[in-house]
């Protein structure tokens, strides 16, 4: 179902028989809402989010492509999150089974303007699926359509903003003992200790080569989110905390307490600064999946 959203921008609503739902905008191919079958919102969306190009929507699930972060030639997190995507009327067969599920297929291709800043041709197909249990799955397939067959590399993230009751009561499990690059310390490489991750100040880390399953435990709400990922080796965890929150025009001063970003990503390996993983060879279809389930 396509309808008008904020500022007249069009959005797609997916509904599942038991009552769960999801919403996504053509602008950014951006999921802005995911509700369980009790109608409870599971994603954070800022009350100050700006639904106006070229600003990316603050909250939900921005898609960072073809560059995650600011390391590289492009604007922070690339341009996929502030382009208008289209319905993909002719999606090739998908590796994942979507029968009996509510889903939509979107596609993004570069414009001539995009080619000036990132000179590669590609087809980026995104399928957003809402499963019968209310789980949400995003599958991205990025195909290199460069006519000369020249390979390109990119970095990527599903920049998911989870809604939590109080971030200082939240634990993240699955990242213990892993290596990470600390964005707050010039991307220096450290190793995480053995305990679940908790939050008491600004947090911005890229965990390298993580397990495919990460759990976010919201103690107060008695809710657990389980993030599963495939084809996305890394994971980014971010909370701006009070000072950065105040500095962001599209984010409420106290909203940091009620969100946590845990992002399935493909970022970097190697030295402490890392170099982007090369993941798109000529004419290769690269599926990366992130699925979210909530219980409690
Ligand atoms: C996170 C990054 O993923 O996104 C942070 O690790 C960044 O460094 C944050 O501040 C938000 O980015 P943006 O561009 O949406 O404000």
197-254 tens-digit pLDDT: 999 999 999 999 999 999 999 988 889 999 999 888 899 999 999 999 999 999 999 9
Opening angle at CA 143, ends 28 and 283, nearest 5: 165
Pocket flag, ligand 1, residue 61 (CB < 6 Å)? no
Site to substitute for ligand 1 among 204, 235, 266, most atoms within 8 A of C-beta: 204
202 belongs to the catalytic site:
no
Residue 38 has pLDDT above 50, yes or no: yes
Catalytic pick among 10, 159, 200, 202: 159
Return the exposure string of 264-275: e unless at least 16 CB atoms fall within 10 Å of the residue's CB, then b.
bbbbbeeeeebe
The residue whose C-alpha atom lies closest to atom 9 belonging to ligand 1 is 238
Query: Looking at ligand 1, which atom is closest to the CA of residue 204?
Result: 6
User: Which pLDDT value is given to residue 141?
Assistant: 86
CA–centroid distance, residue 139 to ligand 1 (Å): 22
Task: Output the six-digit token pair for 49.
Answer: 């989010």
Mean pLDDT of 263-277: 60
Over residues 65-91, the pLDDT tens digits come to 999 998 888 999 999 999 999 999 988
CA–centroid distance, residue 69 to ligand 1 (Å): 7
Q: What is the 3-state secondary structure (H, E, C) of 94-136?
A: CCCCCCCCEEEEEEECCCHHHHHHCCCCEEEEEEEEECCCCCE
CA–centroid distance, residue 104 to ligand 1 (Å): 27
159 belongs to the catalytic site:
yes
- Helix residue ranges, H only, 76-234: 112-117
User: Which pLDDT value is given to residue 295?
Assistant: 75
Q: Do residues 151 and 143 touch, judged by C-beta distance below 8 A?
A: no
CA–centroid distance, residue 10 to ligand 1 (Å): 25
This model of the complex carries an ipTM of 0.98
Over residues 282-291, the pLDDT tens digits come to 334 455 666 7
* Beta-strand pair 259-266/63-64: unpaired
Over residues 92-127, the pLDDT tens digits come to 776 666 677 899 999 999 999 999 999 999 999 999
Looking up tokens 């994942």 gives 96
Which has the higher per-residue pLDDT, 282 or 27? 27
């Amino acid at each position: 179902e396509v309808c008008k959203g904020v500022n007249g921008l069009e959005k797609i609503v997916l509904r599942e028989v038991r009552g769960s739902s999801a919403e996504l905008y053509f602008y950014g191919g951006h999921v802005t809402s995911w509700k369980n079958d009790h109608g409870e919102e599971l994603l954070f969306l800022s009350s100050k989010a700006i639904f106006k190009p070229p600003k990316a929507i603050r909250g939900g699930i921005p898609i960072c492509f073809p560059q995650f972060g600011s390391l590289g030639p492009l604007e922070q997190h690339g341009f996929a999150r502030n382009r208008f995507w289209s319905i993909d009327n002719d999606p090739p067969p998908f590796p994942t089974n979507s029968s009996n599920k509510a889903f939509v297929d979107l596609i993004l291709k570069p414009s001539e303007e995009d080619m000036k800043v990132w000179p590669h041709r590609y087809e980026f197909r995104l399928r957003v699926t809402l499963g019968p249990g209310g789980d949400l799955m995003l599958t991205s397939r990025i195909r290199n359509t460069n006519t000369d067959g020249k390979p390109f590399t990119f970095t990527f993230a599903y920049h998911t903003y989870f809604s939590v009751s109080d971030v200082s009561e939240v634990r993240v499990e699955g990242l213990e003992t892993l290596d990470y690059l600390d964005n707050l310390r010039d991307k220096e490489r450290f190793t995480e200790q053995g305990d679940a991750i908790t939050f008491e100040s600004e947090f911005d880390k890229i965990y390298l080569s993580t397990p495919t399953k990460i759990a976010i435990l919201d103690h107060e709400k008695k809710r657990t989110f389980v993030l599963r990922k495939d084809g996305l080796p890394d994971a980014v965890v971010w909370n701006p905390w009070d000072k950065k929150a105040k500095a962001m025009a599209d984010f409420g001063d106290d909203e940091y307490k009620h969100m946590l970003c845990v992002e399935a990503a493909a970022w970097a390996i190697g030295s402490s600064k890392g170099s982007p993983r090369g993941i798109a060879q000529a004419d290769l279809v690269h599926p990366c999946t992130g699925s979210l389930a909530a219980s409690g």
